[in-house]
Structure 1
Amino acid sequence: MGKKRLVVIGDELDGIRAAARAVRENPEIEAKVLISSEHLSFNCYILSYFIQNSDEDIFSFMDGIIETFKAQYGIDILTHLKVTDILPLEKKVVFEDLKKGHSSAVEYDKLIIATGAVPVVPEVEGINLGNVLFLRSLDDVMAIREGIEAGRIKKAVVVGANMVGVYTAESLWKRGVKVTLVERGPQILPELDMEMAELVRRQMEHKGVEVLVGEKVLSLIGNAKGDVVEVHTPERILPADLVIWLEDMKPNVEVAKKAGIIIGDSGAIEVDQYMETNVPGIYALGSCAQRIHQITGKPVWLYRQAVDDVALQAVSENIAFENGRVLEKGVLGTMSIQAFDLGIARTGLSLAQAREEGYEVETAIVSVYDDRYACGGSYRENVIKLMVDRSNGKILGVQCVGGVLSDKLVDTVAAVISMGGTARDLAMLDVARHFSYFMNLHPIPLVAHVMVNKLEGKLKGISPFELNDLMQDGEVILLDVRTESEFKMGTLPGAINIPLEELEARKDELDRQRSIVLISERGRRAYLAFVKLKQLGFERLRVLDGGLLIYPFA
């Protein structure tokens, strides 16, 4: 009996990695990978990385990956082959040889679809002008590099302020390009809640990047050579030597759809818990595959930042071993980037997503310094927002903006969510507290303890958005409990100042019949004031979540 034939279609790295693992687990498998270009494809995040790291020889790097998989696993990687059809009944993949100009077919026993995602090309005037790129290939990266090095690219507009848009803006900024980031929605980073995204926007503007929200690009204007020179929005005209359009991506499913493979509600290929499609023996993974969200149980599509190791393991082992099927347990949408000296990470549901799913959501926000400055390192504040189901304390999501440890903090919470954990579970977690990081308080148990206090009625908070609405009505006392010198440096409109240390002596200055919102820089002193005033008989008290540090309306 001959070897089992495994064929992978698509340029995404997930496919070749799954093939390599399957071959490693079962030497009776022989694998072929059909890719349409000369090189494997990387997603926009990795392509952006190569923009800022100009010393990297990306073509040698890519060739090295291909040669490694060939040498170590015996995988046959065939380039310049565009797959046109999958024939499930015949178990064949039909492809066009882009170099020789003819069509042929290859037979398979098992098939992996790893066709990734493609940009959504908008119907905007000038979208086909020169130097308007969607960052889809190494050729795009090389064109940007060469344009910067030759001095032709000095001003760039990045359209779409999602995570990949922010990361790409940083890559250009690091190369000395003047960058404008344009977002049609009300905030940058729609993956985050607004007050968390605002921390990033402030940092970007501090670094010299122009950030425009609530503006839609209407048209792109070119010069006589056919290259873009202007970007027009309803508000302004932006000069541009380069436009990178990153607003929307969609799963690349055309070949799969044509073959009768079911496309899910998310627009991606529907797979079961084994990552298998409705056609037996055909699997899908990476950015072309639909997944199930662990919290909602609903199908979702996520544009993958990197190789999906969990799905990859399920696919490879289910192909390698007929009798030992591995279940894939779903996703949380865990994401992270490092940009503009900030770590930005999230997992689970955002506040808006949780409310849309019908949850009664409680939130807690804390800010903690990581203390690497004590060992000669950097000094960065970590702001963490935790969301739970108010009815049972189950964790729904977390977001972190701060230092380089942001992704690790979020990973910790992601693990607890995957186990069905609650705020109390998180508060009791025995986490590592190395003296050079978080010398006083570890942010994960801290934010969980704040949440537990809220759930148990020991603390009442108010979000920046609720407070902004109350301030319009003028029905609330804003009590700033910082020092007088801090207060004079800036506070919220209409706030009065009684420092925490003077609160008991000056309690009679406060009207007990009115609602009082306590504010401080990060919320800690406001919480201490809350406890003290409670002991003094005040009832209508709330603390501004996260403090002035994250208040987005100041």
Structure 2
Amino acid sequence: MAAERLVVVGGDATGMAAASHARRLKRPGELAITAFERGHFASYSACGIPYWVGGAVDGPDALIARTAKEHRARDIDLRLRTEVTELDLDGGRVRTRDLENGGKESWTGFDKLVLATGARPIRPPLPGIDAPGVHGVQTLDDGQALLDTLAATEGRNAVVIGAGYIGVEMAEALINRGYRVTVLEAREQPMSTLDPDMGALVHEAMCGLGIETVRGAAVTEVLTDASGRARAVTTKDAAYPADVVVLGMGVRPETTLAAAAGLPLGESGGLLTDLAMRVRGQENVWAGGDCVEVLDLVSGRERHIALGTHANKHGQVIGANVGGGYATFPGVVGTAVSKVCDLEIARTGLLERHARAAGLRFVTVTIESTSRAGYYPGARPMHVKMLAERRTGRLLGVQIVGREGAGKRVDIAAVALTAGMTVEQMTALDLGYAPPFSPVWDPVLVAARKATAAVRAAEG
């Protein structure tokens, strides 16, 4: 009996985790696995790219979890620099193009298909946006291209368009490399993944770190020099010199192939799957990672959240199901943490606008505390914002902005959200305490106490 044929489209976290886990469950004689990756690298940490660019970590080898050679040694036929250009679902095959050998095209058949095509940086249709010197940063190839530009550029002016997670991380990387950095953000405040009042704290801190951060600055054009390279970025009010431009406006699901094949997409353009990560309406097609939408456990809605943590879990679930086992992915609460220099930024659950969109009534509180006991050396200020549902007191979301020791406190709230706890229940959590680590009342619990009072007052 011939082995089943598994084809994986995309060779990073989800795709190779799925292939590796399926291989552990089924031998080569039972399951033949072919994976296609259009880039030069597979199984790498995209989250580490800003720190590679900034010089904090070596790369690209240090960011690769498992090399192509190691995958092949495990009987996974991983083909780098091979782009999938078409899905023929009825015929059970994919068309590929060899990017290294003259673009030769061929078809590969499958019995089971995994789509792990990731996401692509948002690149608005502006004059000059595709000029040399303008970089999106999503893959190791992107990181290497940016480093090549930095090495070949004599000027020291950098402009980052957008102040989301990628934007602020790349701003830090460029500061660390000695660049004068300007961040242009079209919204009221940086970090649209926070509420504006918390984003204002990030803006203040970024300016204090020497990063010029311009709010309400919608980009209109990338100006180029006589050679066609980027030289400045313009808004309606000003022009900012730029020897290098980095796009930091976030990402969108890369579902071009899926859309062309008629697969179901959600509001954000991400693929829709069931709990087993199987594409809805398809018996033998799975999808995961940055190209899918996932269930938000707090709002009950589908959302696109591009994070490596989810991508790896999706791959494990898909690999188990493809390999004959059983696993599900229940959903997320939307936890993310980042930093710019020594400022830590974290959130989990819903923002105010998300809660309103879900039809929830809620209260909000914001407290200022410290990362350690106030008398202990090194105590730094920390702001915690908490959303709770009116009447029930159910925790809806938490945002944290502070220095050392602030960011990972969001995990307390992530667990509470997953468990469906109320803010009053949170006040009794038995958290670790010692003066070097927290005040007697941890800042998250202080916020929970204040939120409990706000819920009672709202219903009084």
TM-score (norm 1): 0.77
Which residue in the other structure is 1:512 paired with? none
Q: Is the 8 A contact 2:42 2:66 kept in 1?
A: no
Helix, strand or coil at the partner of 1:182: strand
1:297-326 Cα deviation digits (max 9, x unpaired): 2221122255523323321222222xx532
Taking a change above 3 Å as real, the CA distance of residues 142 and 81 of structure 1, as seen in their structure-2 partners, is: closer
1:326 and 2:327 matched: yes
1:252 and 2:266 matched: no
Q: What is the CA-CA distance between 1:142 and the residue it aligns to? A: 3.1
Which residue in the other structure is 2:266 paired with? 264
Which amino acid letter does the alignment assign opposite residue 94 of structure 1? Answer: R
1:7-406 equivalences under 5 Å are: 7-27=7-27, 28-40=30-42, 45-53=47-55, 56-59=58-61, 61-62=63-64, 65-71=67-73, 73-100=74-101, 101-149=103-151, 152-277=154-279, 278-306=281-309, 308-321=311-324, 324-371=325-372, 378-406=378-406
Helix, strand or coil at the partner of 2:219: coil
CA distance in structure 2 between the aligned counterparts of 1:97 and 1:416, rounded to whole angstroms: 48
Q: Is the 8 A contact 1:32 1:77 kept in 2?
A: yes
1:454 and 2:454 matched: yes
Q: Is the 8 A contact 2:337 2:408 kept in 1?
A: no
1:281-311 Cα deviation digits (max 9, x unpaired): 1100011011121122222112225552332
CA distance in structure 2 between the aligned counterparts of 1:354 and 1:299, rounded to whole angstroms: 14
Which amino acid letter does the alignment assign opposite residue 432 of structure 2? Answer: A
CA distance in structure 2 between the aligned counterparts of 1:119 and 1:458, rounded to whole angstroms: 42
Question: Using CA pairs below 8 Å that are at least 6 residues apart, which structure has the higher relative contact order?
Answer: 2
Taking a change above 3 Å as real, the CA distance of residues 312 and 55 of structure 1, as seen in their structure-2 partners, is: closer
CA distance in structure 2 between the aligned counterparts of 1:111 and 1:122, rounded to whole angstroms: 31
1:488-540 Cα deviation digits (max 9, x unpaired): xxxxxxxxxxxxxxxxxxxxxxxxxxxxxxxxxxxxxxxxxxxxxxxxxxxxx
Which amino acid letter does the alignment assign opposite residue 337 of structure 2? Answer: S
Unpaired runs of 5+ residues, structure 1, are 461-554
Higher mean alpha-carbon deviation, 115-124 vs 391-400, is at 115-124
Q: Is the 8 A contact 1:228 1:240 kept in 2?
A: yes
Q: Is the 8 A contact 1:158 1:243 kept in 2?
A: yes
CA distance in structure 2 between the aligned counterparts of 1:249 and 1:372, rounded to whole angstroms: 39
Q: What is the CA-CA distance between 1:237 and the residue it aligns to? A: 1.4
1:421 and 2:421 matched: yes
CA distance in structure 2 between the aligned counterparts of 1:41 and 1:232, rounded to whole angstroms: 37
Taking a change above 3 Å as real, the CA distance of residues 341 and 16 of structure 1, as seen in their structure-2 partners, is: same
Q: Is the 8 A contact 1:349 1:396 kept in 2?
A: yes
Q: Is the 8 A contact 2:43 2:67 kept in 1?
A: no
CA distance in structure 2 between the aligned counterparts of 1:51 and 1:285, rounded to whole angstroms: 27
1:406-417 equivalences under 5 Å are: 406-417=406-417
CA distance in structure 2 between the aligned counterparts of 1:345 and 1:55, rounded to whole angstroms: 22
Q: What is the CA-CA distance between 1:149 and the residue it aligns to? A: 4.6
Higher mean alpha-carbon deviation, 386-395 vs 91-100, is at 91-100
Taking a change above 3 Å as real, the CA distance of residues 301 and 258 of structure 1, as seen in their structure-2 partners, is: same
Q: What is the CA-CA distance between 1:60 and the residue it aligns to? A: 6.8
Taking a change above 3 Å as real, the CA distance of residues 58 and 307 of structure 1, as seen in their structure-2 partners, is: farther
Which residue in the other structure is 1:464 paired with? none
CA distance in structure 1 between the aligned counterparts of 2:338 and 2:115, rounded to whole angstroms: 27
Q: Is the 8 A contact 2:14 2:315 kept in 1?
A: yes
1:185-204 Cα deviation digits (max 9, x unpaired): 11110110112111111111
CA distance in structure 2 between the aligned counterparts of 1:76 and 1:373, rounded to whole angstroms: 57
Taking a change above 3 Å as real, the CA distance of residues 178 and 415 of structure 1, as seen in their structure-2 partners, is: same
Q: Is the 8 A contact 2:133 2:243 kept in 1?
A: yes
Higher mean alpha-carbon deviation, 334-343 vs 363-372, is at 363-372
Higher mean alpha-carbon deviation, 27-36 vs 234-243, is at 27-36
Q: What is the CA-CA distance between 1:94 and the residue it aligns to? A: 1.8
Which amino acid letter does the alignment assign opposite residue 84 of structure 1? Answer: T
1:386-425 Cα deviation digits (max 9, x unpaired): 1011121111111111134334321121111112211122
Higher mean alpha-carbon deviation, 121-130 vs 337-346, is at 121-130
Helix, strand or coil at the partner of 2:197: helix
Helix, strand or coil at the partner of 1:457: helix
Q: What is the CA-CA distance between 1:32 and the residue it aligns to? A: 1.9
Which residue in the other structure is 1:538 paired with? none
Q: How many residues align?
A: 456
Q: What is the CA-CA distance between 1:54 and the residue it aligns to? A: 6.4
Which amino acid letter does the alignment assign opposite residue 351 of structure 1? Answer: E
CA distance in structure 2 between the aligned counterparts of 1:458 and 1:36, rounded to whole angstroms: 55
Unpaired runs of 5+ residues, structure 2, are none
1:166-187 Cα deviation digits (max 9, x unpaired): 1111111111110000011111
Q: Is the 8 A contact 2:40 2:80 kept in 1?
A: yes
Which residue in the other structure is 1:473 paired with? none
Q: What is the CA-CA distance between 1:24 and the residue it aligns to? A: 2.0
1:67-96 Cα deviation digits (max 9, x unpaired): 34334x332211121112222233222211
Taking a change above 3 Å as real, the CA distance of residues 30 and 404 of structure 1, as seen in their structure-2 partners, is: farther
Q: Is the 8 A contact 2:423 2:449 kept in 1?
A: yes
Q: What is the CA-CA distance between 1:59 and the residue it aligns to? A: 4.8
TM-score (norm 2): 0.92
Aligned-pair identity (%): 28
Q: What is the CA-CA distance between 1:64 and the residue it aligns to? A: 5.3
Which residue in the other structure is 1:433 paired with? 433
CA distance in structure 2 between the aligned counterparts of 1:139 and 1:309, rounded to whole angstroms: 20
CA distance in structure 2 between the aligned counterparts of 1:262 and 1:363, rounded to whole angstroms: 36
CA distance in structure 1 between the aligned counterparts of 2:26 and 2:368, rounded to whole angstroms: 49
Q: Is the 8 A contact 1:305 1:335 kept in 2?
A: no
CA distance in structure 1 between the aligned counterparts of 2:59 and 2:315, rounded to whole angstroms: 27
CA distance in structure 1 between the aligned counterparts of 2:199 and 2:355, rounded to whole angstroms: 17
